[in-house]
Amino acid sequence: MATLLNILFYPKRGRSTPNDISIIYTRITINGKRSEFSTGRQIELRKWSSGSGNAKGNSEESKSINRYLDSIKTKLYDIYDRLSRDNQSISSKIIRDIYFGKGEEERMLMEIFQEHNDQMKKLIGKGFTKGTMQRYDACRNHIENYLLFSYKKKDIPVKDVDHKFITGFDHYLKSQKDCAHNTSLKYIVNFKKIIRIAYANQWINRDPFFHWKGTWKSSDREYLTDKELQKMEEAEFDIPRLELVRDIFLFCCYTGLAFADVKKLSENDIIIGMNGKKWIKTKRQKTKSLSSIPILEVPQAILEKYSDHPKVKKGTIVLPALTNQKSNSYLKEIADVCGIKKNLTTHLARHTFATTVTLSKGVPIESVGKMLGHKSLKSTQIYARVLDEKVGNDMEALEQKMKLQKK
């Protein structure tokens, strides 16, 4: 049977109130059954309209009372709508009890976070990646440790999360976990999603992030220079694993592919382009956007070098890449061998492609963005700084022209 909700406000004389003052009550009626409660507001009877069920006139007092009654009505209808949507039992008493915080199980922060992560794990490969899952797991662990450190608790009701909790978490990440500003901000953004879930489900009646605003700090992205790239290309290794990792790194430097995309790169991703040369056309694992990259001489030679590798011959992959973790570890050894002082990581190769290999050689930023698989030119503009080396070369060329003009 369909449930019909009716909400009425009416004045009622209180035992301790003066004769001309009444307390405003709320009456909830569901299918003829009533529940009532006091709003806690008082009004003179002459100022009450029985017909409209609210205060008369445009005085500040009347406006304040009516705004308050409207907020009560909105909350009651929200409770009614949620119970209807979730196919739960509905009665005037249930709605009244929920309004006063009774009868509903208090949702706990860490329980909600774990439920979210458990659901996300089932969707890996169906809209989420392992990397995203790992970040949410790490964020959950940081929240758990923060609770123990600052609140001496393993969990708290999600309604207790406030602005102070958020700023305290930010400070904890930077001071206790030694997180950089942007790293800390990423964790808070992950945490924000969990709070938004709680807000959407009406487990909390306010968004503690409403007054919070995080700003990203721009950072200089390291990359290899032409000389450093040459050192890597010319280096000789007696240890096969180091040679392999070096080659995969160089492949990334000359294609701009992220390590995860190189690891899954297959024969189907290599095509013959309109110019009759080989191209890589593949969807990025992170954003699902298409990368279109002409294959230069160095990456082509690396593909040919590993074409007979057992892993390549056995499957559809074209390069026998190791894990990202192992590759980053071995890159530290490679940097020592090559005399490179920079902190080599697999992602630094992508920065090298964007700066040293393409933009500094005059490749238009729009073309670089397409090869990197960027959806927006703003993403590519991060790399579009003018390199000191290029400035130096350009000025030397200008100086030579000026000398020739004087002769």
pLDDT at 389: 57
Q: Is the pLDDT of residue 251 over 90?
A: yes
Higher-confidence residue of 347 and 217: namely 347
DSSP string computed for 153-185 = -S--BGGG--HHHHHHHHHHHHHTS---HHHHH
Q: Which of 45, 44, 12, 9 is nearest to 26 (CA)?
A: 9
pLDDT at 391: 66
Q: Is the pLDDT of residue 86 over 70?
A: yes
Which tokens belong to 259?
């390590």
pLDDT at 101: 74
- What are the backbone dihedrals phi and psi of residue 37, each rounded to the nearest 5 degrees, phi first? -155, 155
Please state whether 95 falls in left (phi above 0), alpha (psi between -120 and 50) or beta: alpha
Residues 14-24: pLDDT tens digits? 666 677 789 99
pLDDT at 221: 74
Please give the distance of CA 12 from its chain centroid, rounded to a whole number: 52
Q: Is the pLDDT of residue 388 over 60?
A: no
Contact 221, 382 (CB under 8 A): yes
Residues 176-189: pLDDT tens digits? 999 999 999 999 99
3-state DSSP helix/strand/coil percent for the chain, to nearest 5?
A: 55, 15, 35
Contacts (Cβ under 8 Å, ≥6 apart) of 213: none
CA atoms within 13 A on the CB side of 280: 27
Q: Is the pLDDT of residue 59 over 80?
A: yes
pLDDT at 196: 95
User: How far is Cα 135 from Cα 193, in angstroms, rounded to an integer?
Assistant: 13
User: How far is Cα 259 from Cα 312, in angstroms, rounded to an integer?
Assistant: 17
Look up residue 258 and give its amino acid.
A
pLDDT at 266: 93
Mean pLDDT computed over every residue of the chain: 89
Going by pLDDT thresholds of 50, 70 and 90, the confidence category of residue 77 is: very high
User: How far is Cα 317 from Cα 265, in angstroms, rounded to an integer?
Assistant: 6
User: How far is Cα 203 from Cα 267, in angstroms, rounded to an integer?
Assistant: 50
- Residue spans of alpha helices (H) in 103-162: 109-121, 130-146
Return the sign of the alpha-carbon dihedral for residues 269, 265, 341, 227: negative
8-state DSSP, 276: S
The mean pLDDT of 125-130, rounded to a whole number, is 79
Higher-confidence residue of 199 and 218: namely 199
Which tokens belong to 271?
């095509």
8-state DSSP, 151: I
Going by pLDDT thresholds of 50, 70 and 90, the confidence category of residue 385 is: low
Residues 306-326: pLDDT tens digits? 999 999 998 889 999 999 999
Higher-confidence residue of 82 and 308: namely 308
User: How far is Cα 278 from Cα 295, in angstroms, rounded to an integer?
Assistant: 6
Residues 112-125: pLDDT tens digits? 999 999 999 998 87
Contact 293, 371 (CB under 8 A): yes
pLDDT at 386: 47
Q: Is the pLDDT of residue 1 over 50?
A: no
Which tokens belong to 133?
């899952």
Going by pLDDT thresholds of 50, 70 and 90, the confidence category of residue 387 is: low
Distances in Å between the Cα of 17 and the Cα atoms of 10, 61, 64, 259 are 16, 18, 20, 75
The mean pLDDT of 43-67, rounded to a whole number, is 92
8-state DSSP, 275: T
Higher-confidence residue of 90 and 248: namely 248
Which tokens belong to 104?
């509903």
Going by pLDDT thresholds of 50, 70 and 90, the confidence category of residue 107 is: confident
pLDDT at 104: 60
User: How far is Cα 155 from Cα 161, in angstroms, rounded to an integer?
Assistant: 11
Q: Which residues pair with 291 in a beta bridge?
A: 282
Q: Is the pLDDT of residue 49 over 90?
A: yes
Going by pLDDT thresholds of 50, 70 and 90, the confidence category of residue 275 is: confident
pLDDT at 139: 97
Going by pLDDT thresholds of 50, 70 and 90, the confidence category of residue 206 is: confident
User: How far is Cα 52 from Cα 41, in angstroms, rounded to an integer?
Assistant: 17
CA angle 146, 343, 332 (to 5 degrees): 100
User: How far is Cα 116 from Cα 185, in angstroms, rounded to an integer?
Assistant: 20
Look up residue 81 and give its amino acid.
D
User: How far is Cα 169 from Cα 109, in angstroms, rounded to an integer?
Assistant: 14
pLDDT at 9: 96
Query: Which letter, b or e, does each residue of 304-333 get, where b requires 16 or more Cβ atoms within 10 Å of its Cβ?
Result: eebeeeeebeeeebbbbbbebeebbebbeb
Residues 358-380: pLDDT tens digits? 988 888 888 988 898 888 877 77
